[in-house]
Amino acid sequence: MKSLGCGRTLLYAIKNMYKCTYNVLNSIKISTSSGVRQGAPTSCLLFIIYVDKMIKMIKEAVPRDGFLGSLHVLMLMDDTVIMATNREACLRKLDAVLEYCEEYGMEINAKKTKFFVINSEPRDKIPLQAHEKKIDYSKKYLYLGSWFT
């Protein structure tokens, strides 16, 4: 946030807001050490700031992608779809995402992650392999209650 121009006072306030978070459940204190407070007014903004670099890394990997142009990602918080017009562009974008995840301590859940190709060829159905992650092919993909087919 400092690199985006946030001042010392704002950084201090946010840091203190997340510094000591305790949930009390039946008199047992549970300390949390990562993530943003769900439902808090700052949560969406903090997440956008957090993933901004990932979006930039994807755009650097593939500046323009066929008919998609510069539309690379659909994202609602952690529900994310990375779009590409071909297998090679998809692999470059996936590499950028995995590089970002390594840098910022995130991990993709490969079991929940799938890819599919519109107007696919037989070779497009081969699982994607990047950074020791295997992403399986799917004929369709459910995103926020709507099917991509």
- List the single range of 26-40, 41-55, 123-137 with lowest mean pLDDT: 26-40
For residue 45, the one-letter residue type is: L
CB atoms within 10 A of CB 74: 13
Reported as a single tens digit per residue, the pLDDT across 95-113 is 999 999 999 888 888 888 8
More confident of the two residues 31 and 117: 117
pLDDT of 56 strictly over 70: yes
pLDDT of 75 strictly over 60: yes
pTM value is 0.73
Going by C-beta distance under 8 Å and a sequence separation of 6 or more, which residues neighbour residue 142?
A: 148
CB 127 within 8 A of CB 134: yes
